[in-house]
Every structure is written in structure tokens, then in C-alpha cells.
Structure 1
Amino acid sequence: MNILATEYSLRHKALELYVAGCKGPHCPGCHNPETWSFDQGVPFDTVTKREIETKIKDFAHMIDNIWVLGGEPIDQDRKALEELLSFLRGFRPVWLFTRYELSEVSENILCHCSYVKTGRYNEDKLVDDNVQHGVKLASSNQKIHRLNN
């Protein structure tokens, strides 16, 4: 599993981690088509862990949550994704953003998450008022689930 990019979202007080790779079929109108290839980014290994930990600790006053997005996190190697989520959970609540439905996500993944955004982006269901847990979602079929973890 490769980490494509990290960035701070001041609006949501989150550190965002983007994983590289998304299996088709892709959502028409996807806002991150540059993340589809699995052959980009840096492998999630010890060096990447140290870099992520440094970003979290150096800007702890700015970060309330950690978001894992893509690409598609669920399309990654399951063991590597579990390792990433477990590692991140030690710092802040983890939000997982996926196009899959909650029932399609392994319990071994969900147990590390505080929130999970589910549902494919759907251009036919665009809305301006789908705000859940302070996050504006693009289409009416998308949902954020708060988990008891």
C-alpha cells in the first residue's frame, strides 16, 4: 500500500492521508482521478510511519482527526490498511472515506475507525445540503457512520 500524499485541512482540523489506487469501475465525475493508479506514492513502511507521526505531533494543536481517503482505501492490501488504521488510531480519531457500503467493509477495518463515510459519488444525486458530522457530502446517497470505537 502506498501513501500518495498528506495534507492538513484547517477547516476540518484534520490530517488527511491519501492512499494510491482505486479499482474500477470508477465513479463518473470522481474528484480525485489522479489517485487511481496503485503505482504512485511511497510505500507505507517504517519511514512513512515516522513522517506521519512527526506531522501529527508537530501540528497537534491543529489536528482533531485523521482522515484516510484515496484512491480507495478498501481496495488496498487489507493487512497494510489494518496496520495503517491501527497506527493512526493511537493518535486521533480516524475517519475512513470509502465508496463502499458499511456492510462491505471488514470488521477488522471498522474496529480501528471512529467514523466511516460510505457511498459512491453519484452525479445524478448531487445535493448542497448533505452535511453530516460537520462534513459536506457531495451526493445524497453518501452517509457518515459514527462507530463506537
Structure 2
Amino acid sequence: MNPQLRIAGVVKESIVDGPGIRLVVFAQGCRHHCQGCHNPATHDFSGGKLVDIETILDEMQKNPLLDGITLSGGEPFEQPQAFAALARRARQLGYHVIAYSGYRYETLIANKDQQQLLEHTDLLVDGKFDITQKSLLLKFRGSKNQRIIDLNQSRLQNQMILSELN
């Protein structure tokens, strides 16, 4: 059976949601409700639409310019198994995977279901958006408290390693 995701939408080409040109999938559903969130329409868990993972992968493969996929939100880690399946398949096809989460890495790594998604992700941007630490000068994140974590290096060194993009 082909897993489905509940998504708010897809941006077919983005240069602001990670390095290179990326397809961005916005998860539907978020418990964080960060003040100043730029995607408040993604908070409702019953909103959005259901989409097959293969539909998203087919869309990616139509664009030879894409470097990777970014999983944003809402909160992709609220649907960890389905997003893990998407991330795994995207990586098998040679795409780089970034996931955004309002949860901290330390919380995600302690949750068996959420670990599945981390295992198939190259970079994680973690932490809630904090409007008091907002900065337009940061690459690929909205507030100074958020970290960009190199999950490949973190797995190799068995400890959290920040990306050079920080």
C-alpha cells in the first residue's frame, strides 16, 4: 500500500528552504502554534488534503533542476512514518532531504517513530519559531534559537553536529 500524507500544499521550486533548488512539501497539522508563524493555515490537523507519496515523487522527477526535497509545515514529525517513507524514497532517487521541526533534536531522537524520519533526513532545522529572536539575516531559518543540524555527521559521530550553514 502506498502511504499517504496530509499536506497543506507543495511549492514546486524554492531556493529559500534549503540549499539548491528544492521541492517543498508543507505538512498539515501542528501543535506548536508559534506566535508569528508564517503558515498558520497548516495548524488544523483536519485541513489540507491527502496525497500519495508516489504523486509527490513523480512531481519531483519531472523537474531535472531539483536538488532535493524540504519537509516543512505544519509539523512533518506529527506524521513521522509517512514522511519517513517519502524521505527514504527521495534519498533512494538521489535527492537531498531537509526537514523542519518545532521540536528540538533531543526530543525527536528520543521518540522511536520520529527517529524513523530523522534516519532518512540529511539536515534538520529544529526548534520553534521565536518571534523575539526573528532575524532576516539567517539562512534557511527564521529565528536565532533554531539550529541547522547535519544529521549525516551526527549519525557518524554519534552526537549532534551542527551544519556549517548555521
TM-score of the pair, normalised by structure 1 = 0.83
Match of residue 93, structure 1, among 86, 93, 96: 96
**Structure 1 counterpart of 2:40:** 33
Residue 65 (structure 1) aligned with residue 73 (structure 2) = no
1:119 deviates by 1.2
Give aligned pairs, total: 139
Residue 49 (structure 1) aligned with residue 57 (structure 2) = no
1:75 deviates by 1.9
1:16 deviates by 0.3
- In 1, Cα distance between the equivalents of 2:57 and 2:84? 17
1:38 deviates by 1.4
1:78-116: CA deviation from partner (whole Å, max 9, x where unpaired): 322322222222230110001111111143221100000
TM-score of the pair, normalised by structure 2 = 0.75
- In 2, Cα distance between the equivalents of 1:50 and 1:16? 15
**Structure 2 counterpart of 1:79:** 81
Match of residue 19, structure 1, among 23, 27, 43: 27
Evaluate the alpha carbon distance shift between residue 142 and residue 37 of structure 1 in structure 2; reply closer, same or farther with a 3 A threshold. same
- In 2, Cα distance between the equivalents of 1:114 and 1:57? 19
- In 1, Cα distance between the equivalents of 2:70 and 2:99? 6
**Structure 1 counterpart of 2:160:** none
Q: Show structure 2 runs of 5+ residues with no match.
A: 109-113, 156-166
1:10 deviates by 4.1
- In 2, Cα distance between the equivalents of 1:84 and 1:123? 30
1:56 deviates by 1.0
1:23 deviates by 1.6
Residue 116 (structure 1) aligned with residue 124 (structure 2) = yes
Contact 2:10 2:26 (C-alpha < 8 Å) held by counterparts: yes
CA RMSD of aligned residues (A): 1.8
